[in-house]
Chain A
Amino acid sequence: MNNHLTWALLGLTALLISPVASAQKTTAEGIAEYRAMLADGNPAELYEAKGEALWKQARGPKNASLEKCDLGKGAGVVKGAFVELPRFFKDTQRVQDLESRLLTCMDVQQGLDVVEIAKTRFGAGEQKNIESLVAYISGESRGMKFNLPQAHAQEKLMYEVGKKVFYLRAGPMDFSCASCHSEDNKRIRLQDLPNLTKQPGASVGFGSWPAYRVSAGDLWSMQRRLNDCYRQQRFPYPGYASDVTVALGVYMGVASKGGVSTAPALKR
C-alpha cells in the first residue's frame, strides 16, 4: 500500500516539475544547440563507407568496379571531382551532374541497365547504391572549394537555363525555387532558407547536399533533394538526372564558387 502511494507521488512530482523549464533560450539558439549536439555522429558516415566499398567492388554484367570512372578529373580520380560538378563531358557531349555521370559510368564500365536505375524509386535497389556512392564521392571533396568550370559553351548555356528555371513560377501555388531561396535571412517554419542566388547562401545550401536527412532517416543525393523541392512546389515530376535538374545544379554550383563543400552534411 505504502509503496503504491510512493509511486503515485513520484508521478505527481513529475507533473509539477515539467512547467519549470530552465532559462529559456530563443528558438534560434535552441535549434543551433540541437544541431551542434548532433554534429558528432552523422549517419552519413555509414553511407560513405558503403559507397567506398561499392566504388571498388566489381559488379554488373561486365563484372567491373567504378575505379575507371571519369568524374571530370580523369579516370578514377575521386578527390576534388565533386566541387567541379556539374560539368561538360566530352564522351557524352553533355553537361552532367554527379548522379547523371554515375549513371554513365554504371552503364559503360559495369554494363548495368541505367534506364531502369533512373526509373527506380529513391531509396530502393540501385538507387540506394547511388546514394552511398554520392556520399563517398562528395565526402572525398569535404573542405574543398567549389569551382565549377564555365569555359565550355554548353556549361554557359546550362548556367543560364538553370537561372531561368530557378525563377520559373508555376503550379497551383505559383511557387518557384526563388520563392524560398532568393532572399537572405528567411525561414520556412523554423528552417533557415539559404539564399541560393549568391554567396555565402549558395554554398551553404548547395554545398551541404548530399546529406543525411534526419526527417527521412536516409541519405539524400542532390537529385533526391531537388525532386522533393519540386514536389513541395506542387510541380509535376522531374525526371531523374533530367536537364532541368542538371541545369539547376550548374546554376547553384556556379553561384557557390569559392564556398566550402561540407557534404555529406546532416540536415533536418
Chain B
Amino acid sequence: MTPTAQDIDLATSQAMKSSFRDQGNAKLDRLTLDASNQACSESEGAALEDKLGKAIEEANLKTVKFPADGKLIGNWAEGERVAQSGRGLTWTDSATAANGGSCYNCHQISKTELSYGSIGPSLYNYGKLRGVTDPTAVASKPIVDYTWGKLWNSKAYNACSGMPRFGHANILTEQQIKDVMALLLDPKSPVNQ
C-alpha cells in the first residue's frame, strides 16, 4: 500500500502544522513559502521547468533596491566582520543585535581564513578575476551592479539559489551589504591580493 501524492501532501502539511511553534524571533510565519521556496521545495533539488524558473527570477529581480546615494562600495574590513559572523535570526539570537552574513560558512573568501565552507564557489580574488581595478569606474558597473543584485536577492539570477536573499529578506542592512561589496571588489581588500 503505497501512499498517494495527495496522502503525502496532506500528511506533510498536517505534520508541519502540528510540529512547530513560535520561539523568540522565530515565529510560525517563517513557514509561509513564497513562490521561489514553494517551487524549489517541490522540485526536491531538480532543475525547475524553464518558464517557471524565469518567472521566479524576474519577480525577484524586481525586488533589488540600489542605494539612494549611488555608493555601492563600503569598507572591506567591516565587510570581513560581516562575512565571518554566522549570527542572527535564530530563536536564540536577540532581535536587536546585528546579523552576520555567514559568508565563510559556504565560501572561501580571504586567503588567511582557513575555516571556510564549500557549499558555494570560492570568492577569493573575486574582483581581481573579473578585472575590477576601480569599482567606481564605468567599466566596472555591470559586474558591480550584478554583485549588488546577487547579494540583495540571489534568486534574481538563479530561482533555486542556495544563497540567502540578504537585502530582500532584511538579513543585512544596506550598509553591511556595501561593506561586503568592498570585501569582494575593493582592489585593496585581502580578497583581491
**A–B interface present (Cβ within 8 A):** yes
Expressed in whole angstroms, the Cα–Cα distance for A115 and B18 within the complex equals 15
CB distance from B7 to the nearest CB of A (A): 6
CB distance from B102 to the nearest CB of A (A): 8
CB distance from A165 to the nearest CB of B (A): 7
Residue of B nearest to A30 (CB): B114
**Total of A-B residue pairs, C-beta within 8 Å:** 145
Contacts A189-B104, A242-B18 given; does A178 touch B169 at CB 8 Å: no
B3 touching A172, Cβ below 8 Å: no
**A231: chain B residues within 8 A (beta carbon):** 26, 90-92
Q: At the interface with chain B, which of A100-108, A135-143, A179-187, A213-221?
A: A179-187
CB distance from A29 to the nearest CB of B (A): 12
**B115: chain A residues within 8 A (beta carbon):** 27, 189-190
A243 touching B31, Cβ below 8 Å: no
- The interface size of chain A toward B, counting residues with CB under 8 Å, comes to 44
B44 touching A167, Cβ below 8 Å: yes
B117 touches A (CB below 8 Å): yes
B28 touching A156, Cβ below 8 Å: no
B2 touches A (CB below 8 Å): yes
Binary interface profile of B, 15-29, with partner A (CB < 8 Å = 1, else 0)? 110111111001110
Residue of A nearest to B46 (CB): A167
CB distance from A228 to the nearest CB of B (A): 9
**B41: chain A residues within 8 A (beta carbon):** 164, 167-170, 176
Contacts A157-B3, A186-B117 given; does A169 touch B40 at CB 8 Å: yes
CB distance from B36 to the nearest CB of A (A): 7
Q: At the interface with chain B, which of A51-59, A61-69, A233-241, A257-265?
A: A233-241
Contacts A163-B44, A174-B36, A237-B20 given; does A157 touch B11 at CB 8 Å: yes
B44 touching A236, Cβ below 8 Å: no
The main secondary structure of chain A at its interface with chain B is mixed
Residue of B nearest to A153 (CB): B1
CB distance from A236 to the nearest CB of B (A): 4
B171 touches A (CB below 8 Å): yes
Expressed in whole angstroms, the Cα–Cα distance for A239 and B166 within the complex equals 28
A161 touching B8, Cβ below 8 Å: yes
B193 touches A (CB below 8 Å): no
B3 touching A160, Cβ below 8 Å: yes
Contacts A153-B1, A157-B8, A167-B45 given; does A189 touch B20 at CB 8 Å: no
B116 touches A (CB below 8 Å): yes
Residue of B nearest to A239 (CB): B19
Residue of B nearest to A160 (CB): B8
Expressed in whole angstroms, the Cα–Cα distance for A171 and B22 within the complex equals 12
A243 touching B15, Cβ below 8 Å: yes
Contact residue among A180, A186, A236, A247 (Cβ-Cβ distance under 8 Å from B22) = A236
A232 touches B (CB below 8 Å): yes
Residue of A nearest to B99 (CB): A172
**B164: chain A residues within 8 A (beta carbon):** 172-175
A242 touching B44, Cβ below 8 Å: no
Contacts A170-B37, A172-B171, A234-B26 given; does A247 touch B15 at CB 8 Å: yes
A180 touching B40, Cβ below 8 Å: no
Contact residue among B12, B106, B114 (Cβ-Cβ distance under 8 Å from A161) = B12
- Residue of A163, A236, A247 with most partner-chain B CB within 10 A: A236
CB distance from B22 to the nearest CB of A (A): 6
Binary interface profile of B, 61-97, with partner A (CB < 8 Å = 1, else 0)? 0000000000000000000000000000111100000
**A157: chain B residues within 8 A (beta carbon):** 3, 7-8, 11
Q: Please list the 8 inter-chain residue pairs (A to B) with the smallest Cβ-Cβ separation, ordered nearest first.
A: A242-B19, A237-B23, A244-B19, A243-B15, A173-B164, A164-B12, A236-B20, A169-B37
| Chain A residues engaging chain B, CB cutoff 8 angstroms | 27, 153, 156-157, 160-161, 163-165, 167-176, 178-180, 182-183, 185-190, 193, 231-232, 234-239, 242-245, 247
List 25 A–B pairs whose Cβ atoms lie within 8 Å, in order of A's numbering. A157-B8, A165-B16, A167-B42, A167-B44, A168-B16, A168-B33, A170-B37, A174-B169, A176-B41, A179-B162, A185-B118, A186-B117, A187-B116, A188-B105, A189-B115, A190-B114, A190-B116, A231-B91, A236-B22, A236-B28, A237-B21, A237-B91, A242-B15, A242-B20, A243-B19
Apart from the given pairs A161-B15, A238-B20, 4 other A-B contacts in the complex at a CB distance below 8 Å: A165-B16, A168-B33, A174-B155, A231-B90
